[in-house]
A and B are shown apart, each in its own frame.
Chain A
Amino acid sequence: MRMRLSPSWYGASMQIEPEEIQLKVNGKLHLVRVDSSTPLLYVLRNNLELNGPKFGCGLSQCGACAVILSGRAVRSCVIPVGDVKNLEITTLEGLGSSENPGPLQRAFIEEQAAQCGYCMNGMIMRAKVLLDSNPAPTDAEIKRALNGNLCRCGSHLRIVRAVRRASVGKS
């Protein structure tokens, strides 16, 4: 079931003092000085200069901002950074690089599974979590898992093929 939230208009929190927050991202420790209400997305992008997670809506509706937090795909655009101190965060960069792509990224490359590619962070992170718990999903399971992620270019069919390709027994 796709999440269709009404906008709560970014939960107007009047800021207090920024604080030092320790984050564990892609296996590395970082110390950032931000207001603890700052959405994790902005901290990852602006403080740690990670381009993987993308701003798509800020409303938890599209999934472009997905990161993996303690084994689950979560929407970093609505998670205050103060809530994720010391938790394991994995971003797209943590799955592999273009020189050395991870298996899922390789499957996406082989299927040429994108047009503009802007939604791909969300797709790949969500697919990673799916395959970690269900290594050989059916197409219906793949579609159900990804249904909360939006793609406007219409790359859905290739995305399903890519996830299928990366699943056990298929590559």
Chain B
Amino acid sequence: MDWIEQAIFTSAETDRTSGYQVVAASPGIREDDVRELAAWGPSHGALLDSDAGGSSLNAHPLPSGGHCVSRTTPAGWEYSGRGGARVYTHCLVVPPQILARFANNPFALWRAVVANGSVHVYQEIPRRLEPVRLPGRAAAVDTALLAQLCANPGPQWMATLVQAALDSVTLAIIGGPPAENVIAGLVNCLPPGCRTEFSFSTGLKFSSRRPFRVVALSADRNEQRRVERLYNVAVLALSGDPPVGFAPVESWPRLILRALRSGRLSFLESRMAIHSGEISLHELPAFGLQMLEELDASALNDDPSDQIAVVAEEKTEGLRIVAEADLQGDDADDAAGAVGGDDAADEGPPMIAPAPQTQASRRWTVAHGPQRRKSAAPATRRRCTPPPCEHLDLGDRAVLEKLERLDDLVFDSIAGKAAALEQLKELWPQLCEELEDPLLAESREHYLRHALSAWGQHGKPDGVRDPNAAVQLLEVLCTLFQ
């Protein structure tokens, strides 16, 4: 069995120096890891809540390849007599294979360590600490926690948080349920293989010296404004409606939204358990699409009548497409939830509180009533209106070739080829004359999605984006939408 090394970072007077330092460590910790612990270690006044009950759970990677999972608490007084609480951080240096046993979930690992009786707040800090052995494992998803978060802040907010976490270099969260729950929920909403990419702290003041990817912010408006002004930090206040800028548009956040909305937590858990550790952040979009298909397929297999309900709701919305509904707030899923759509077939535990009934679902209940569910014919779930491609005369090779040419030009233009953009500017007006409006609209929608996706993948690891690429993208979109 592998060992977990441990260290304590706090303020004390030692033989080496005085003040905040790594005051004790078990012998197996590498020197570069110790220095990293000192760099990330929170010092005086770093806790958001410095009262006795305040604490922060933190996790970040280490140079050795392991991960630091730490708990910061106030512990006694500053040794130098300058007032204020002493900030005490107990760090565990966790090898990747042990963290993987706990589904790469630092919260689950910390709970296990506490249950094991392996961590203490030492009043007299020992000169030497011993490594910890930690048996056991954890489930891929904490369904109880997710069910709790479905009630507050709700599935839409959780999906928005996932989208924001994926999009942002740093995500700062204000308000809502306790930050530890929200961030633990966010971790649970990610596949285990991706979780180690998301360093976090649940109760430390933000500092660029500790570049956690997900942080909680206090209610202090000055502190919030300071962080809002920082570059590459997205600030989300968990109150009111989720911001449109982080609407769940990518496949994984959409999956989370639909799974949480429909209460299909055990679907999420089972699939994450199967693919535990396999999926990296890079592969997440493709995995998300695959999971969405699996979610649809399992819903179809479970209860075909549920699809009727969805279709009935969709028809009330006219030309709307369910995929679009996902983008705009998942009204369709709400409707399905209200009438026992694909939620009804769910094998997962019931949610503590169901998602609120939206206008769309109310509309369905009033206008059509549940009796329509039996009478409507099963149909494809994705589209309720004749797909735009039906406007095409498939025998018209010339049109198909033009569309293929259009695809090539748009993709090349988005990729930055100036010549392709020039040709697109000539071809697009011609196609606008020749093609039906629905087909044009669908084409625009797909190209817009591709442009957003390309922009999302364009950022460098430090979040810096090339303005030339932005201008090129804007030009392509302007051409297509004018």
A joins B in a complex: no
